[in-house]
Amino acid sequence: MSTKVIVIGAGWFGLAAAKTYLQVERNVDLTILESGETIGGTWSRERVYPNLLAQQRYGRYEYSDRNIEIEGGNRNAFVPALKIHAYMNEYAEEFGVKERIRFKTAVTRVVRNEDGKRWDVWINDDSELMTCDRLIVATGLTSKPILPRIPSEDFTGRIFHSRDLGTQYDYITSPAVKNVTVYGGGKSAIDAIYSCVTNGKHVNWVVRKGGGGVPPLLTGVANGKVLDDFATSRFGSKLHPSLHTNDWWHWALHSGKNFLGQWLHWKYWGRATSSMQTNVEYTKSENMSKLTPNIVDHGAYWINVGPAVLTQPDIVDWIHCGCQITVHRNTIENLEGDRVHLDDGSSHRADAVIYATGYDVIQPAFSLEEGANLGLPTPVKQCPPEIAAKWDRLEAIGDKEVVERFPRLGKPPPHKKLPVSCTPYRLWRDMVPLPLLSGEKPDRSLVFVGTVKSYSTSIMSEAMALWTVAWMSGRIHPGKSLAEMEHEVAVSNAFARRRYLNLGHKFTYQFYEFLPIVDNLLREIGVKSQRKPDAITDLFEPYVPEDYRGMVEEFKKTHGISNGEEIKKEK
Ligand SMILES: Cc1cc2nc3c(=O)[nH]c(=O)nc-3n(C[C@H](O)[C@H](O)[C@H](O)COP(=O)(O)OP(=O)(O)OC[C@H]3O[C@@H](n4cnc5c(N)ncnc54)[C@H](O)[C@@H]3O)c2cc1C
Ligand SMILES: *[C@@H]1O[C@H](CO)[C@@H](O)[C@H](O)[C@H]1NC(C)=O
Ligand SMILES: *[C@@H]1O[C@H](CO)[C@@H](O)[C@H](O)[C@H]1NC(C)=O
């Protein structure tokens, strides 16, 4: 009988995993379970709307073996979300994944099968059971909206989360709506505001004083050069500390052992920060000055809130002029009638309130105990004490190691520490639950993908997909003790917290160091990681998804897999 594989989630990561699995092992019986009505998750038809753009430009957010056709001929334009949705559909069809997706199928519970080997996947409120040999969880980090608890029983307008802007788009742009209040400081708030003002609405933008604040608003261009390309070059990545490199650059810039290198490095980030701040002109208007990021000194280096690339740069002018946008640094106390009441005693009119208040990372389908045991995010207050104590100890050791290796990270800038509500993901290689590695033979039946946030979702997703298939089919052998792997995970989480401050406490953030991480994953599965024709281009040219074209075929060649071959039996 063929191996039964279930992938939960038809978003960017789930599609990559399913497509890669089918490419490597033609005979698997693979199904994707998706609670939504269309493909794409973040980019599903329900969630996208006309002027939503990806924060990446053409050629940078796509799968390696199929380009997104460039609209209007400008490769440096940001890719429209609607286009990404259409592209994902075509991609899924091309690789035979589409017909394997079951839409409107929510996984409500995952438990171990009685045989201790397979997984029981319960769907649609436990009305149906599917059992599989291999389970890939790709449920994303933006599936469960956080709604603030604000008294609003007597509010007469509509209230919804920014996740639902796609379904509410016709309403919010209709003549019935004149005043919209947007609550939250992140990129989703900015996107929502842009849609409102360009449709003639008046927006009251309310950002709490006590939260993470507003991300640095990045124009993404400096001296006519596209900055994201620099960040995805190997040279650009060397300007960031990484656990996975130990070369001359690390010694010169991050080890604290080379005075000149360290000084130059810090000068560079100081200059990058001022140019970032001058681009947006925070001091030009009262409204914009209210959006100054919390971390000013070397703010371009320290990332404390998810960065926001200004995909619609004219939003800056809208904010400066204050004609249709009023910025408030307040907390909303309650909503009543057609008014929004703020904590400074003021109130304003609103026909609709959009909560751009982010997402919860909890994995809903696993029980609390199982989740805590597997290393999934668990509410801190409910984490079993022995698990909490063990990881506190491991992460304290990890933290010491991080500060020793990267002295700069030992001196964080002054910032307000936000309360941490959940434990982080604690997975080996960010994918495999550690308890499954404790036996004599690793249990290869369960993998999580898409648990990390990185600069290149596309490149990361394909590297993780191929690694997952290699792992599940028994082609990677850790050769390490469980204690060593736990230590690795602890160091990695400690690094994220030092490097990305509040963000690193919430997510497995691996933003700027994704390239060395991808290198590592590919090396482990025997695929070439340096993919440019020569050393110079390898150092300076940006890495884009297309550079990884043909990776799956290379992998198959390395491992002697011809099409149609069954899983190799584990040694
Ligand atoms: C508005 C917005 C803009 C963004 N822009 C960018 C960008 O420009 N660049 C970038 O790199 N990243 C961006 N991101 C991050 C983006 O989420 C990732 O790039 C990527 O799409 C994540 O893919 P994923 O597959 O991990 O998750 P998702 O796209 O969230 O997919 C997860 C899927 O799992 C399904 N699912 C969840 N739970 C269940 C369940 N229990 N049963 C069945 N199905 C389930 C969901 O319905 C969803 O379809 C953006 C995110 C948002 C919200
Ligand atoms: C509400 O909208 C009207 C017209 O669109 C505008 O004149 C008014 O100033 C707005 N009020 C607030 C509080 O934004
Ligand atoms: C900021 O916005 C308010 C309200 O729209 C406006 O009255 C004020 O003039 C703006 N401030 C500046 C400096 O433009």
Please give the Cα distance from 86 to 97 (Å, whole number): 15
- The whole-angstrom distance between residue 139's C-alpha and the CA centroid of its chain comes to 12
- The residue whose CA is least distant from atom 14 of ligand 1 is 42
What atom in ligand 1 is closest to the CA of residue 15?
25
Best CATH choice for the domain 147-215+305-357 from the list 1.10.600.10, 3.50.50.60, 3.90.1170.50, 3.40.50.720: 3.50.50.60
Span from the CA of 329 to the centroid of ligand 3 (angstroms): 14
| Amino acid 566: pLDDT | 46
In this predicted model, what pLDDT tens digit does every residue of 77-111 receive, in sequence order?
A: 999 999 999 999 999 999 999 999 999 999 999 99
35 lines ligand 1 (CB under 6 A): yes
Cα–Cα distances in Å, from 192 out to 100, 126, 166, 195? 34, 36, 10, 5
Closest ligand to the CA of 202: 2
The pair of three-digit structure tokens given for residue 185, joined into one six-digit string: 């400081």
pLDDT over threshold 70, residue 564: no
Closest alpha carbon to 313 in 450, 217, 178, 211: 217
Closest alpha carbon to 57 in 185, 221, 303, 189: 221
At residue 222, φ and ψ (nearest 5 deg) are -140, 135
322 lines ligand 3 (CB under 6 A): yes
Angle at 395 between CA 391 and CA 401, to 5 degrees: 155
Span from the CA of 216 to the centroid of ligand 2 (angstroms): 28
Please give the Cα distance from 556 to 161 (Å, whole number): 44
> Could you tell me where in the chain the CATH 3.50.50.60 domains are found?
4-144+361-562, 147-215+305-357
What atom in ligand 1 is closest to the CA of residue 39?
49
178 lines ligand 2 (CB under 6 A): yes
In this predicted model, what pLDDT tens digit does every residue of 168-216 receive, in sequence order?
A: 999 999 999 999 999 999 999 999 999 999 999 999 999 998 887 888 8
Average pLDDT over residues 421-429: 95
pLDDT over threshold 70, residue 565: no
Q: Which of 124, 130, 139, 507 to mutate to test the pocket of ligand 1 (most atoms within 8 A of CB)?
A: 139
Span from the CA of 324 to the centroid of ligand 3 (angstroms): 9
Q: What is the dihedral of CA 442, 448, 454, 456, to 10 degrees?
A: 100
Closest ligand to the CA of 290: 3
pLDDT over threshold 70, residue 570: no
Residue with tokens 């401050």: 501
285 lines ligand 3 (CB under 6 A): yes
- The residue whose CA is least distant from atom 6 of ligand 2 is 202
Long-range contacts of the stretch 335-344 (C-beta < 8 A, 24+): 335/150, 335/151, 335/152, 335/154, 335/155, 335/157, 335/159, 336/151, 336/152, 336/154, 336/155, 337/154, 337/155, 337/156, 338/155, 338/156, 338/157, 340/181, 340/204, 340/206, 342/206
Span from the CA of 322 to the centroid of ligand 2 (angstroms): 12
Span from the CA of 14 to the centroid of ligand 1 (angstroms): 10
Amino acid making up residue 295:
I
179 lines ligand 2 (CB under 6 A): yes
Span from the CA of 339 to the centroid of ligand 3 (angstroms): 20
56 lines ligand 1 (CB under 6 A): yes
Span from the CA of 216 to the centroid of ligand 1 (angstroms): 22
In this predicted model, what pLDDT tens digit does every residue of 430-467 receive, in sequence order?
A: 999 999 999 889 999 999 999 999 999 999 999 999 99
Q: Is 530 exposed, middle or buried (0-12, 13-18, 19+ CB in 10 A)?
A: middle
Stated pTM of the model = 0.96
Query: pLDDT exceeding 70 applies to what percent of the chain?
Result: 98
In this predicted model, what pLDDT tens digit does every residue of 213-244 receive, in sequence order?
A: 888 888 777 767 787 888 899 999 999 999 99
Which fold is adopted by the domain 4-144+361-562?
FAD/NAD(P)-binding domain (3.50.50)
Amino acid making up residue 551:
M
In this predicted model, what pLDDT tens digit does every residue of 242-273 receive, in sequence order?
A: 999 999 999 999 999 999 999 999 999 999 88
Query: Terminal CA-to-CA distance of the chain, rounded, Å?
Result: 20
| Amino acid 279: pLDDT | 79
- The residue whose CA is least distant from atom 50 of ligand 1 is 42
Closest ligand to the CA of 323: 3
Span from the CA of 308 to the centroid of ligand 2 (angstroms): 27
Cα–Cα distances in Å, from 461 out to 66, 147, 254, 364, 449? 15, 29, 28, 22, 8
Instruction: Compute the mean pLDDT over every residue in the chain, rounded to the nearest whole number.
Output: 94
Q: Which of 181, 203, 282, 285 to mutate to test the pocket of ligand 3 (most atoms within 8 A of CB)?
A: 285
In this predicted model, what pLDDT tens digit does every residue of 496-534 receive, in sequence order?
A: 999 999 999 988 899 999 999 999 999 999 999 999 999
Angle at 153 between CA 147 and CA 156, to 5 degrees: 100
What atom in ligand 3 is closest to the CA of residue 323?
5
In this predicted model, what pLDDT tens digit does every residue of 351-369 receive, in sequence order?
A: 999 999 999 988 889 999 9
